[in-house]
Amino acid sequence: MRFNSKTLSGLTVAAVMAILSVTTPAKSEIKKIMLDCGGKLCPYLQASVTIPKGWQEDKAASREKKMQILVPVGKTFSNAGAIIYAAVQYNAAKTPIATLVEQDHANWRKKTADVKIERLPDVAHASVGEPFLHYQFEMPSRKSQPFERVASTSDTDNDNNAFLVAIVLTAMSKKALRDTEPAYLTILKSY
């Protein structure tokens, strides 16, 4: 199984869009980068993540998906058994994260009958603000991205605008998920 644009858009990107957060100003900062989108400029929101040892950013995939996509050194978005990505979504309504997480989980249960969602312990991070809300998803019927960890928190930009930051570990197998967990937790804790 390989990751492709349909794969990512079908799974947690929808979750990221749905899980907007309330913000407590954070020390990390969201950066807005303008990219050429076929003759016009499009914003790309980027979180301040630390790339762990043994990992690299797949810059081409990050640019295409408008989110930071990390892969093991020597791999790409298309051939990695596990990827970690950081997606940022503007939270104009400042909706409480817990409310949106519940809504997102209800949506997943409607569209994927065999989804199993398990609450994991929150993960404190280096920045000021609320910890990451942390969940594990298992969806055996899905041929792509059947195993995921999703951690969501809030952040701000220079103008104190509110954003959701979702850092996701997605894997093709439970083994790949377990093997990638140390790198994933390093990213969460250093945020």
Which two structure tokens, joined as six digits, stand for 105?
Answer: 């989980």
Q: What pLDDT is stored for residue 15 in this prediction?
A: 36
Higher pLDDT, 68 or 144: 68
Q: How much of the chain, in percent, has pLDDT values that exceed 70? A: 85
> Comparing C-alpha atoms, which of 123, 128, 179 is closest to residue 151?
123
Which two structure tokens, joined as six digits, stand for 153?
Answer: 């928190």
- What is the rounded end-to-end Cα distance, in angstroms, of the chain? 30
CA angle 42, 98, 93 (to 5 degrees): 45
Q: What pLDDT is stored for residue 22 in this prediction?
A: 33
Q: What is the mean pLDDT of residues 59-69?
A: 92
Confidence band, pLDDT 50/70/90 cuts, at residue 186: very high
Question: Mean pLDDT in the chain?
Answer: 83
Q: Where are the domains of the chain?
A: 5-190
Q: What pLDDT is stored for residue 23 in this prediction?
A: 32
CA atoms within a 13 Å half-sphere pointing along the CA-CB vector of 52: 18
Q: Residue 34, exposed/middle/buried by CB under 10 A (0-12, 13-18, 19+)?
A: exposed
pLDDT tens, residue by residue, 79-107:
999 999 999 988 899 888 788 788 888 99
Q: What pLDDT is stored for residue 102 in this prediction?
A: 85
How are beta strands 41-46 and 55-57 bridged, if at all? unpaired
Q: What is the mean pLDDT of residues 6-13?
A: 42
Please state the pTM of the whole predicted model: 0.81
Lowest-pLDDT choice from 5-9, 62-66, 132-136, 178-182 = 5-9
How are beta strands 68-72 and 82-90 bridged, if at all? antiparallel
Higher pLDDT, 137 or 64: 137
3-class secondary structure per residue, 171-187: ECCHHHHHHHHHHHHHH
Question: 137 φ, ψ to 5°?
Answer: -115, 135
Lowest-pLDDT choice from 26-35, 68-77, 111-120, 161-170 = 26-35
CB 46 within 8 A of CB 88: yes
**Cα dist. 173→13, 72, 81, 89, 190 in Å?**
19, 15, 8, 28, 26
Assigned fold of 5-190: Protein Transport Mog1p; Chain A (3.40.1000)
Q: Give the helix ranges, DSSP H, for 92-164.
A: 97-111
